A and B are shown apart, each in its own frame.
Chain A
Amino acid sequence: MHIKTSQSALLSNHEVYQHIRAESEHYLNDETANRDKALSNVREILKDGLRYFEGDPSAPPGLTQFVNPAKEISDLHPARPMTLYKGPNSLLRALAPKYRLNKAEYLQIYNVRPTSRITLELIIEEATLRFREEELDDMIDTIWRVFYEEEKDIPAGVEDQEMEKLPDEMLGDSRRKHKKAKRRA
């Protein structure tokens, strides 16, 4: 075993959930695969995954009902899982022109889907220093709008549309690069 790149990409919970669902079609629902003893570890982790995203059906009643955002997105956009990530209707295109956020912050917005300022401030580092209150509220509205956009309002094929690359400084990454360059000098 040789680890070539220990981190070649980041995945959002939603992407992983889609993948787990696709894999369980074969590993959990196919009869021959289901009987294969060697594959028990695969079945176990896939079941764990489904339980994490879809909730535990055997949970005792009386607890707060919670739907994982990953499942919610899948249910909202079953046919077009990539709309949120690519093209003019993506979250990046909605937020980047106005606010400088980094990759980790985008990822957590996808995963946690903040609906109140209190949660958004957790995700965005030093939120109150970087942004004004109105800006944070506007961000929440934008996130809400992008996530709950009606399927029928989105033109077909937007995910594959070629888009102009965003200038780097919009992504909030430039500051770190700057620091590194300085240190080297």
Chain B
Amino acid sequence: MFILTTIQDLVQITPEDFNKTSARAIKDAINVKYSNKVVHKVGLCICMWDLLKASEGLIGHGTGLVNVNVEFRMVVLRPFCGEILHGRIKSANSEGMVIDLDFTYEVFVPHANLFDPSEYDPQENAWIWRPEPGNEFFFDKGETVLLRIVREEWFDQKPSIVQKDEQGNVVERRGVPWRIIGAMNTSGLGPIMWWEGQEGEEGGEEEVEQQLLENGDVEMEE
């Protein structure tokens, strides 16, 4: 879920921060610049991990800012495709569910990636999985779930890129820079309470199917 990214940058330390120690001032400057921000194709920056290199501070003409060339490692939130992770159901609509990871809630599970057959109940405002008639499992809001990351979508926010809608009008408001698409459609995924104390019983069917495909020989389920 988390990675370290090595970044080189020039940070500027303002005169107000001269009372801090250099290490602290550099760290604060880096954190102010990067924390809680998405870097394109890298991920969501959390905070600085460690400082690898820092040059002497140089003061330019006209300002009192101290310029420091730094190289540091950043803690970055970047789940990889196929990763299993914990999240909470934030909200649901007829298209799917939004999952809250606290760090970000740009995590979406479209209905196509839910157990089949699942359907949306507008009154309950929740998705319901009905594996067999009369048997219902609710994806309740706030429940802790396990989900699999299937895809990520990046939207470059460079100021030079002009976004246009279908009619060709320029869109001023920018959307999210990054969105994660998840899935909850294999045994073990979904609300964690569903699977507590189940020792692979549901997985049994799949197992047998897979073995059938692989070596054409069927083992009996216990």
Residue numbers of A with Cβ under 8 A of B are 1-13, 15-16, 19-20, 23, 27, 33, 36, 38-39, 41-42, 44-46, 48-49, 51-52, 56, 59-60, 63-64, 66, 68, 104, 108, 111-112, 116-119, 121-123, 125, 128-129
Residues of B within 8 A of A3 (CB): 5-7, 39, 42
Q: Which of A6, A49, A60, A66 has the most CB of B within 10 A?
A: A6
Beta-carbon contacts under 8 Å, B1-38 to A: 1-9, 28, 31-32, 35-37
Q: Are B187 and A128 in contact (CB under 8 A)?
A: no
How far apart are the CA atoms of A172 and B140 in the complex, in Å?
38
Q: Are A118 and B187 in contact (CB under 8 A)?
A: yes
**From B31, B103, B203, B207, contact of A39 by CB (8 A):** B31
B214 at the interface (CB under 8 A from A): yes
B85 at the interface (CB under 8 A from A): yes
Closest-by-CB residue of A relative to B31 is A42
Q: Are B75 and A16 in contact (CB under 8 A)?
A: yes
CB distance from A77 to the nearest CB of B (A): 19
Residues of A within 8 A of B146 (CB): 112, 119, 122
B162 at the interface (CB under 8 A from A): no
CB distance from B69 to the nearest CB of A (A): 10
Q: Are A112 and B2 in contact (CB under 8 A)?
A: no
B143 at the interface (CB under 8 A from A): yes
| With A5-B6, A118-B198 as contacts: A51 and B102 at CB distance below 8 Å | yes
| With A11-B3, A63-B140 as contacts: A1 and B9 at CB distance below 8 Å | yes
Q: Are A45 and B195 in contact (CB under 8 A)?
A: no
**From A7, A13, A27, A117, contact of B199 by CB (8 A):** A117
Q: Are B9 and A2 in contact (CB under 8 A)?
A: yes
| With A8-B5, A41-B36, A46-B47 as contacts: A108 and B71 at CB distance below 8 Å | no
Residues of A within 8 A of B110 (CB): none
Q: Are A4 and B36 in contact (CB under 8 A)?
A: no
B176 at the interface (CB under 8 A from A): no
Residues of A within 8 A of B49 (CB): 19
**From A7, A19, A118, A125, contact of B3 by CB (8 A):** A7
Q: Are A45 and B1 in contact (CB under 8 A)?
A: no
How far apart are the CA atoms of A123 and B83 in the complex, in Å?
8
Residues of B within 8 A of A16 (CB): 1-2, 46, 75
Q: Are B2 and A10 in contact (CB under 8 A)?
A: yes
